[in-house]
Structure 1
Amino acid sequence: MTPPTLAPAFLDAAGWGGAEILPLAGDASFRRYFRVVHPDHGRAVLMDAPPEHEDSRPFIAIAEHLDAQGLRAPRILHRDLEAGLLLLEDFGDKRVAPVLAAGEGDEGAIYAEAVDTLVQLHEAPLPAGVAPYDEDALKREVDLFVDWYLPALGVENIDRDSFDAAWKAVWPGLLARTAAHPVLVLRDYHADNLMLLEEGGLGLLDFQDALAGHAGYDLVSLLQDARRDVDPSLEARMRERFITRSGIEHAATFIADYELLGAQRNVKILGIFTRLWKRDGKPHYLKFQPRMWGLVERNLAHPSLAPLKAWFDANVPPALRADAWEEYR
């Protein structure tokens, strides 16, 4: 991974001239990350977000908001928005997902801290200018399933009207409760975007697409993880922890919303991972599709989602679900 051509001049302007630039990571967007190592200043992260594809201003705004609330987003050391470059605080190498995969962390304790961090986030005021996670936004996301997933498997003549109607049948209560008490939703709050910091606590990554939405969304993102299995017993304990610590009075209603948000998110991800394969040439995301179907089927089993389950039962047989992706595991 070659550093951006403007990186040396950018680092000179930041006072980090002569630093070594090492490849660090990319993600599902156009953003790329490099580790910068300087003999005097230590380490930082260079974020390359090409301005023709990515707008870094939301990242900056949310990072500064989180920092002001006592939450740990990477502090911004230098910026050049025209070049699409940011120099960020380096949180180190202890990303939660690899740490747990190596058997080096206490999964229950880490997830409890992640839940408590969400509670703290939701107690903070919403930053100005954050768009709502409303019905239009939710619909655009689930449409990825009929736009990308089903066509990729050769399904033609998709009944989009009945698909829309199934979702419209289950939205109203969730939308009313969201409008009554919106919170900041980071939208990709899971083990691959959480860092174990040297000083303790969790560092937050990948929050530039934050919206004002339902308190259950990021909890679903954490506990129904697209990239790693979370044991259902741990999920249940952490969900109960969140309900208790958030002071939620109607647990059954919250759980129904949680399962609907899970269905929305997981169906969306099925579409996104297919799009990453078909449009962006990234087939490695397909290995997650069987897990996603397992989550979707668990979501649809909730009685409040019966209209949605009926649509999937009628239109998406097993051959188009997990069975279609076994070869990619």
Structure 2
Amino acid sequence: MQRLELLKGWLAGLYPDTELTVEFAAADADFRRYFRVTLPDGTSRIVMDAPPDKMNTDAYVQVREQFAMVNVPEILVRDREQGFMLLEDLGRVTYLSALQHDERPVVHQHLLLEAIDTLIELQQASRPGVLPEYDEALLTRELNLFPEWFCAKELGQPLNYAQRQLWDAGVKALLPALLAQPKVFVHRDFIVRNLMLTPGKPGVLDFQDAVYGPISYDLVSLLRDAFIEWDEAFVLDLVVRYWEKARAAGLPVPADIDVFWRDVEWMGVQRHLKVAGIFARLYHRDGKDKYRGEIPRFLKYLKKTTRRYQELSPLYQLLVQLVGKDEDDDSVGSLFSATRIVADDE
């Protein structure tokens, strides 16, 4: 309540003698909150509230400059000391809500292809030395959230010696493959909750943690989401379409689609392990249960992928010990072949 009163006082200074309507708009998994401010003429702005003792908004400003080629909110006013920013309002409709409102596959495909076009535009602007490196240390730190928070806290089962050996073997196989991928700008949370349905290009939010890293990361984030799930054939079709568009745009994707599909799958293993750990940490450390119920979806993704690749079998064995087996065992090969034919015929 104290922060809200400070925010209203700050707005009163920006708009003296003006009657403003302030309503809650959204909250992030960290400490940031967003409020929509409506002016007497009916126009609106978004205020970011990032408590300065907990958040630093410098990264948001810096990344926004690098991402200006896509539809990111304009920063209208910034108060670094108080942790407030007045931003352009990109509307009320997220991609997630639009996808949930209209479940027709053709609508989902259209919206996701628009998101893929935006992602490619962002990746085309990539250059090294601008954003922090998504290096081995950061990838490993994220991976370790899984044993630390999901295993030890969510399951109450810290890894024993044999399980730790499985974990270490899996990570040893995984990391070199991720580090070998070509690097581009990585939004790092390019999900449908962070895309806005706007006229023209999708609006892009929550980009302050962007890095320079593996090219497949944001595509995995988009197509293997926490809050919405598509069947395998649909995802494969969109991966092929991204790959074709990326090649046409001159992006450094592998010439062989089978190699790229493997890159996507293996990158997904890292992200899913990380996200399961983060969602567990949000509940057990921060008392936020909004995301906890989505952890099983990521476990499903993980088991489905790690059982397909012999090199990742230690991780599959570990997952089975921790949470049990799934009944289904999809055949990626047959689905992939069918999807490739459809994509090539377009």
TM-score (norm 1): 0.89
The structural deviation recorded for 1:292 is 1.1
Please list the CA deviations of residues 65-92 of structure 1 after superposition, one character each: whole Å capped at 9, or x if unmatched.
222x2x1001111000110100111111
Query: What code does the residue aligned with 1:200 have?
Result: G
Whether the 8 Å CA contact 1:290–1:322 is kept in 2: the answer is no
1:258/1:39 CA distance change after superposition, 3 Å: same
**Among candidates 261, 264, 267, match of residue 270 of structure 2:** 264
Distance 2:95 2:246 in 1: 23
1:34–1:314: structure 2 CA closer, same or farther, 3 Å change rule?
closer
Deviations 1:163-197 (A, max 9, x none): 2332122322331233xxx2110111111111011
Mapped partners of 2:319, 2:204: distance in 1:
38
Q: What are the superposed Cα offsets for residues 275-303 of structure 1, whole Å, 9 maximum, x if unpaired?
A: 11111112232211221111111221332
The aligned amino acid for 1:169 is A
Give the Å deviation of 1:127.
7.4
- CA distance in 2: counterparts of 1:257 and 1:100, whole angstroms: 26
Secondary structure (helix, strand or coil) at the match of 2:221 reads helix
Q: Which runs of 5+ in 1 are unaligned?
A: 324-329
> Following the alignment from structure 2 to structure 1, what is the Cα–Cα distance between the partners of residues 141 and 261?
23
Q: Which residue of 2 aligns with 1:326?
A: none
Offset of residue 309 of structure 1: 2.5
2:284 aligns with 278
In structure 2, the residue matched to 1:34 is: 35
Distance 1:10 1:41 in 2: 20
Of residues 285, 294, 297 in structure 2, which corresponds to 1:291?
297
SS state at 1:5 partner:
helix
Partner of 1:155: 157
Separation (CA, whole Å) in 2 of partners of 1:82 and 1:286: 33
State the match for 2:338 in structure 1: none
In structure 2, the residue matched to 1:146 is 147
Query: 228-237 or 312-321: which moved more?
Result: 312-321
The farther-off stretch of 80-89 and 308-317 is 308-317
Deviations 1:120-159 (A, max 9, x none): 1111133753111111111101101110111121213534
Deviates more, 1:160-169 or 1:266-275: 160-169
Alignment partners' CA distance in 2, 1:319 and 1:177: 30
Q: Helix, strand or coil for the counterpart of 1:24?
A: strand
Structure 2 portions without partners, runs of 5+: 248-252, 328-346
* Counterparts of 2:175 and 2:213, CA distance in 1: 13
Aligned to 1:125: 126
Decide whether aligned partners of structure 1 residues 296 and 46 sit closer, same or farther in structure 2, where only a CA change above 3 A counts. same
1:109 aligns with 2:110: yes
Change (3 A) 1:321 1:26: farther
Distance 1:133 1:14 in 2: 38
- 1:220 maps to amino acid: V
AA at the equivalent of 1:253: V
CA distance in structure 1 between the aligned counterparts of 2:82 and 2:65, rounded to whole angstroms: 20
- The residue type equivalent to 1:283 in the other structure is D
Q: CA RMSD in A?
A: 2.2
| From 177, 181, 186, the counterpart of 2:181 | 177
SS of 1:291's partner is helix
Letter in 2 for 1:80: D
CA contact (8 A) 1:243 1:251 kept: yes
TM-score by length of 2: 0.84
Instruction: Provide the C-alpha distance between the structure 1 equivalents of 2:103 and 2:176, rounded to a whole number of angstroms.
Output: 43
Deviation at 1:321, TM superposition (A): 7.6
2:171 alignment partner in structure 1: 167
SS in 2 for 1:189: coil
CA 1:161–1:175 in structure 2 vs 1: closer, same or farther (change >3 Å)? same
Match of 1:94 in 2: 93
Aligned to 1:222: 222
Which range is displaced more, 282-291 or 208-217?
Answer: 282-291
Secondary structure of the corresponding residue to residue 177 of structure 2: helix
Which residue identity does 1:84 align to in structure 2?
Answer: G
Matches of 1:226 and 1:79, distance apart in 2: 31
Amino acid at match of 2:237: R
Q: Indicate the percent of aligned positions where both proteins have the same amino acid.
A: 36
Q: Deviations over 1:13-33 (max 9, x none)?
A: 434754221111112110001
**Secondary structure of 1:36's aligned partner:** strand
Q: 2:36 corresponds to which letter in structure 1?
A: R
Deviation at 1:320, TM superposition (A): 5.9
Change (3 A) 1:319 1:170: closer
Shift of 1:11: 1.8
Contact kept in structure 2, 1:51 and 1:84, CA below 8 Å:
yes
1:64–1:314: structure 2 CA closer, same or farther, 3 Å change rule?
closer
Query: How far, CA to CA, are the matches of 1:280 and 1:218 in structure 2?
Result: 26
User: Given the alignment of the two structures, is residue 75 of structure 1 paired with residue 66 of structure 2, yes or no?
Assistant: no
Q: 1:112 & 1:38 partners in 2: Cα distance? A: 35
